[in-house]
Amino acid sequence: MKSTRKALALLLCAAMVMSCTACGRARAEKPGTATKTEEAPIPLTILTRPNFELEANTLRDQLTKAGFEVTVNVQPDRASSMAVQESGKYDINILNWLTDAGAPDYAVRQLYHNDGSYNMWPIKDDELSALIDEAAQLTFEDSIPVYTKIENRMVDEMCWTIPLYNRTRFVAVNKDVVDPNTIFCGGSTPRFFGMSQYVDKSLSETRPYVAVQFDPNPPNFDPIRTEEGSTFWMKANSYISLTACNANDEVVPEYSLSRAFAIGEGNSTFYFMLRDNVNFAKVEDNKAVDTGVLVSAEDVVYTLERAKDPDAVPLNSGYTNLESVDTIGIVTDMEELKNIKVSGSSQSVFDYFNEKAPAPITKLTEETSEVDNAAGVCQVVKITTFKPTPQLVNFLTISTLGIVCKDVVSSLNEGVDANNYDPAKDVLYGDVNTLKEGSAQFNNNNWFSGPYAMLYINDYEMVFDRNPGFMPDTEWAPNIKNLHIKMMSDMNTAYSALRSGEIDDCMPEGNWGSLKEAPNVAIIDKESTSVTTLFFNLMEGSKMNDINLRQAVRYAINQDDIIAIKEGTVTRSHSTLTMIPTGNEWNADPAKSAEYLQKYRDSLK
């Protein structure tokens, strides 16, 4: 699936709109800059997207002073960025990475492991991959020393990556309309719009909630096909996950399909007792209707088996999260649960589940028609792993692994070869044209397990309706019936729309000082696991394969200059492992930069 992985990488790469070149010899104009060199500057091309243009320009200035001739290439859209990425005509790529569910393995495996599904550069480092595998088998406390080694290896020793800053997550809402206290804002989790509520609750059934995302042109809406910003919110709100994260990035059963979950002794067996109050929704007459079909254990097994198969669909981004999974099945023998202890506890899994069930458990069944939690009839899904993987419960919160309907997806995808998929003639579940208003292929036959069902998409917005079968009559049923997510690429336009009352909600990026003074705007902030990072082009033939050149770039970059232009919205970072207290701190060193650059020059002679 090399072509699949490459295509996936292209969708995620950071992109760029115009190019400007800074030429001239490096000069030491102020303390802390590199010393003057009389040799010709080394050319570098930085690839980025519009909302990273300030960062790119600051990097250009720093690297120019260090002896480089820098071109900044800002592409206007995904197609253009894909073309640049595929051509390999760049040296440094600016990318933002959010570590979902606060799992440190997620912060490194997909980006830096030899087999990572987002290792688009590509990095090939057996020692680093072995460390990543080792850390994944440990509990959080035991893993800290190994993750410290990982950070040292990928940043300081090999300089595979350069962190710019750790981003604070912000949500800005029109407080005259929306109650700020109901906004869900986690550090690494998606936005769950079903929790939002109007100040005037009587508007909930008639007034659409209008939010904004800054990633237009989503490629498709099958949960496992790609995992990037343009579909992140849609998938999280349209498909329920097996576990969930709260606003503090703690893995919890609330708002997930599991009424309770437990890790067995040894951290290689995982049990999930499912709810019986989540039904699939489908779209009829441009509204969501309850199908009456329970989101069942059979659907969970199908979803995860499908996700762990790299060849299940084109652009499958789910398999990396499930690489350690051996078996997925349904438990029907209560004695099994009675005979295994919860990890770190003397309590059996059965007793633990019995405490969480609405009635004493009398039967475990694989038959969906028999499920009745109030009568003690439950479904339990069991996952085993090849090796201890305590972070698996974190991975299962990720929107990529949202639960789909086995019968619907398997029927729609029947007969399509994923390896020879032709979007011009083949139709797969979640293809954007099947949901796009006005498209000749428009035929919304998707079934949705989450709090909202997507009605349609057009060039301007995604439109959703509440799933009437999603935990009705509970605190988790969506408060507001209709949700519209506007797609805007210009942040200033969004800020203006929020101030004027045209939209209710946005997540500010870049310079948004104008929102702070708006009388109708409330801003909620949360420390996040989102890190803006530089990645090098390590394709065959790229000059960035030379470690001396990478280190010359690394020591020329001063994070403080980058942080200053972000106006207090970001903090220093040493890697994507923001949740690990490594004690490392990023420091520029112009003298080292000059030394490494000279080593690179000498290698060319």
- DSSP H or E stretch at residue 524: strand 521-536
- DSSP H or E stretch at residue 292: strand 287-294
Tokens of 336: 């099994």
CA pair distance 509, 445, nearest whole angstrom: 35
- Least confident range of 147-151, 513-517, 585-589, 600-604: 513-517
CA pair distance 541, 538, nearest whole angstrom: 8
Length of the chain (residues): 605
Can you give the pLDDT at residue 504? Answer: 97
Can you give the pLDDT at residue 409? Answer: 96
Can you give the pLDDT at residue 89? Answer: 93
Identity of the amino acid at 228: E
Tokens of 559: 């994070």
- pLDDT tens digit string along 152-190? 999 999 999 999 999 888 899 999 999 999 998 887 788
In SS3 terms, 14-67 reads as: CCCCCEEEECCCCCCCCCCCCCCCCCCCEEEEEEECHHHHHHHHHHHHHHHHCC
CA neighbours closer than 13 Å in the CB half-sphere of residue 341: 7
CB 139, CB 390: distance < 8 Å? yes
- What is the number of other CB atoms lying within 10 angstroms of the CB of residue 95? 22
Mean pLDDT for all residues in the chain: 89
Is pLDDT at 1 greater than 50 in this prediction? Answer: no
The percentage of the chain sitting over the pLDDT mark of 90, rounded to a whole number, equals 68
Is pLDDT at 49 greater than 60 in this prediction? Answer: yes
Can you give the pLDDT at residue 30? Answer: 41
CA pair distance 27, 401, nearest whole angstrom: 51
CB 531, CB 562: distance < 8 Å? no
CB 349, CB 262: distance < 8 Å? yes
Provide CB contacts within 8 A for 101, sequence distance 6+: 188, 189, 245, 249, 251, 394, 395, 397, 398
Identity of the amino acid at 576: T
Region of 286 (left: φ > 0; alpha: ψ -120 to 50; beta: rest) is left
CB 377, CB 363: distance < 8 Å? yes
- pLDDT tens digit string along 302-345? 999 999 998 899 888 778 889 899 999 999 999 999 999 999 99
β-bridge mates for residue 490, sequence order: none
Can you give the pLDDT at residue 309? Answer: 93
Tell the burial category of 414 from Cβ atoms under 10 Å away from its Cβ (0-12, 13-18, 19+): exposed
Is pLDDT at 489 greater than 60 in this prediction? Answer: yes
What confidence tier does 29 reach under pLDDT thresholds 50, 70, 90?
very low
Is pLDDT at 25 greater than 60 in this prediction? Answer: no
The residue among 73, 392, 7 whose CA lies nearest residue 226 is 7
Mean pLDDT, to the nearest integer, of 357-365?
A: 97
Region of 411 (left: φ > 0; alpha: ψ -120 to 50; beta: rest) is alpha
* DSSP letter (8 states) at residue 97: E
Angle at 244 between CA 239 and CA 245, to 5 degrees: 130
Tokens of 497: 């729309």
- pLDDT tens digit string along 267-297? 999 999 999 999 999 999 999 999 999 999 9
* DSSP letter (8 states) at residue 113: S
Is pLDDT at 103 greater than 80 in this prediction? Answer: yes
- pLDDT tens digit string along 406-429? 999 999 999 888 888 888 888 999
Residue where the block lists tokens 């059963």 = 253
Query: Where does 386-478 show beta strands of DSSP type E?
Result: 452-457, 461-466
Can you give the pLDDT at residue 19? Answer: 34
R_g of the chain computed on alpha carbons? 25
Tell the burial category of 333 from Cβ atoms under 10 Å away from its Cβ (0-12, 13-18, 19+): exposed
Q: Which residues of 265-279 are buried (b: 16+ CB within 10 A; e: fewer)?
A: eebbbbbbbbbbbbb
Can you give the pLDDT at residue 285? Answer: 95
> What is the CA 203 to chain-centroid distance, rounded?
32
Mean pLDDT, to the nearest integer, of 343-367?
A: 97
What is the DSSP secondary-structure string of 74-91? Answer: E-SSHHHHHHHHHHT--S
Mean pLDDT, to the nearest integer, of 577-583?
A: 93
Strands 325-331 and 380-385, bridge-based pairing: antiparallel
Can you give the pLDDT at residue 229? Answer: 63
Identity of the amino acid at 562: I
What confidence tier does 36 reach under pLDDT thresholds 50, 70, 90?
very low
Provide CB contacts within 8 A for 133, sequence distance 6+: 113
CB 131, CB 104: distance < 8 Å? no
What confidence tier does 18 reach under pLDDT thresholds 50, 70, 90?
very low
Can you give the pLDDT at residue 22? Answer: 36
Tell the burial category of 438 from Cβ atoms under 10 Å away from its Cβ (0-12, 13-18, 19+): exposed
Tokens of 108: 């490194």
Is pLDDT at 91 greater than 50 in this prediction? Answer: yes
Tokens of 495: 């800020």
Query: Where does 125-266 show beta strands of DSSP type E?
Result: 161-174, 209-213, 244-245, 251-252, 258-263
CA pair distance 473, 487, nearest whole angstrom: 32
Q: What are phi and psi of 72, to 5 degrees?
A: -100, 120
* DSSP letter (8 states) at residue 374: G
